[in-house]
Amino acid sequence: MKRFRCIVCLGLFVSLLFFSFLPTSAQKKTNIIMLLADDAGYHDFGFQGSKTFKTPNLDKLASEGMVFNQAYTTDAVCGPSRAALLTGIYPQRYGIEENNVPGYMSASSKLLGDEMGLPVDIKTVADYLHPLGYQSIILGKWHLGNADRYHPLGRGFDEFYGFRGGARSFFPLSQKEAFTKHDERMEKGFGNFQEPDKYLTDAIADEACDFIERNQKKPFFMYVSFNAVHSPLESKASDLDLFKDLTGERKQLAAMTYAMDRACGKIMDKLKELGLEENSLIVFANDNGGPDGTMTCNYPLSGCKSNYLEGGIRVPCIMKLPSVIKAGSEYTSAVSMLDMLPTFLNTAGGNANKIAGLDGVDLLPYITNKTKTEPHKLLFWKKENRGVVLKGDWKMLRFPDRPAELYNLEKDITESNNLAYKYPEKVREMFKLLWEWESDLERPLWQLKRVYEVNAMKRMDEKRTPVLDK
């Protein structure tokens, strides 16, 4: 009898030892949640220094995770920046340099109308996560092609609750409006058009929480692509009442931002309620700089959406992964939204190093001090004849109609002291780097009409002086 007990105990010990050495893939995988704002101002969050906008949930996320002080999007407008985030590849490599907005494009473009979309041979992060057992959903704005062949459900995502275009009302459309604005219709699944019964930002949060409930036993990837705070500026009366000291567009923006913060908080609360918080990677970022037309505040940066000054391409960014990323920490080196795909893939147990052609890197080794180098030696931006290269603290902007500009961002974050004439050899070096990068790019699939490109340059010149929010 004693011998039998010893054998049983030994067997139990061997079993426990065996299971303790099972590969990570057999253990619970990390959930991945990407929260993306739309057209928000760089300064328009409490954790970014705003004293007028209220963002308690995102401020809490910042205190529990890491804030990136020099996070960049890959373009100064929505479409290309989202393409890069989902693919980990510069969008210029597959011909996307500009928003796919019908009516704004030159007749010489290869693709027009609904056919302007993310090429179907380019894989998304959802495509890579699916074989690893992840359930994926996109909620909100797609903006990577209206035609059915570009639909999210054909791009690796299992579920879609949102709209295919670039902007829409935050309140339900009437049947007539939905019929005439087909790319703005809310869609659940594929072709099941269903307008929300509430303010859209709240509806996105509710759908996100429902998805979490249904998938809490399996790993999931959520791409919560808010259309807040993109125009039209529409908010709930109850949210407006919270900002009695503000007026006009700033008041509308504050209320819309508060609603988005509330939605983020609801999603994070659901993770905590279900015991998923400790095993979830959460990222919050913005798609591009705040636009000049809606009174966003990009302080202390100059520039705005549609141009390549810092206010057009530097974005707020938070990353939280309990027990991995130190709470309340900051990261000061340049990172890119290109880095999201490899970071997500490696976190999920994949190997981004095996994917040829990625421009992003897995950020976790850098931000956890496992490697002492910086994530990127060089970063690039391009739209037609405008181009930018960032190397360390040095940033050069090339234009088709004026001399290049050169700035040292470490000493001059406002880009007010052009050093191009003082350091001509640095300008030549940066030009060469930009030309070498451009030599591998595809020709744009569509291009803006010249008038809109001229307007973008005009807005850049008008936004040279950073202004603090009021």
Could you read off the pLDDT of 193-223 as tens digits, one per residue? 999 999 999 999 999 999 999 999 999 999 9
pLDDT at residue 16 tops 70:
no
Which helix (H) or strand (E) segment holds residue 435: the answer is helix 424-438
Model pLDDT for residues 248-301, shown as the tens digit of each residue? 999 999 999 999 999 999 999 999 999 999 999 999 999 999 999 889 999 999
Percentage of the chain modeled with pLDDT above 70: 94
pLDDT at residue 401 tops 90:
no
Place of tokens 């300064």: 43
The mean per-residue pLDDT over the stretch 331-337 comes to 98
Top-level class of domain 29-372: alpha beta
Question: How many residues does the structure list for the chain?
Answer: 470
pLDDT of residue 27: 53
- Domain range annotation of the chain: 29-372, 385-443
User: 449 is written with which tokens?
Assistant: 């009409």
Residue range 385-443 in CATH 3.30.1120.10? yes
**Measured distance CA(292)–CA(430) in Å, rounded:** 29
Are 107 and 449 spatial neighbours (Cβ–Cβ below 8 Å)? no
pLDDT at residue 4 tops 50:
no
Mention every residue, 6+ apart, whose C-beta is less than 8 A from residue 81. Answer: 73, 74, 75, 91, 287, 288, 337
**Mean predicted lDDT score pLDDT of the chain:** 93
Cis before residue 232, ω within 30 degrees of 0?
Answer: yes
User: Whose CA is closest to 363, among 106, 68, 156?
Assistant: 68
Model pLDDT for residues 404-424, shown as the tens digit of each residue? 999 999 999 999 999 999 999
Model pLDDT for residues 347-368, shown as the tens digit of each residue? 999 999 999 999 999 999 999 9
User: 4 is written with which tokens?
Assistant: 């039998």
Percentage of the chain modeled with pLDDT above 90: 86
- pTM surpassing 0.85? yes
pLDDT of residue 26: 42
Model pLDDT for residues 20-57, shown as the tens digit of each residue? 433 343 458 999 999 999 999 999 999 999 999 999 99
Q: Is 121 exposed, middle or buried (0-12, 13-18, 19+ CB in 10 A)?
A: exposed
Model pLDDT for residues 72-89, shown as the tens digit of each residue? 999 999 999 999 999 999
Q: Residue 34 in 3-state DSSP? A: strand
pLDDT of residue 17: 39
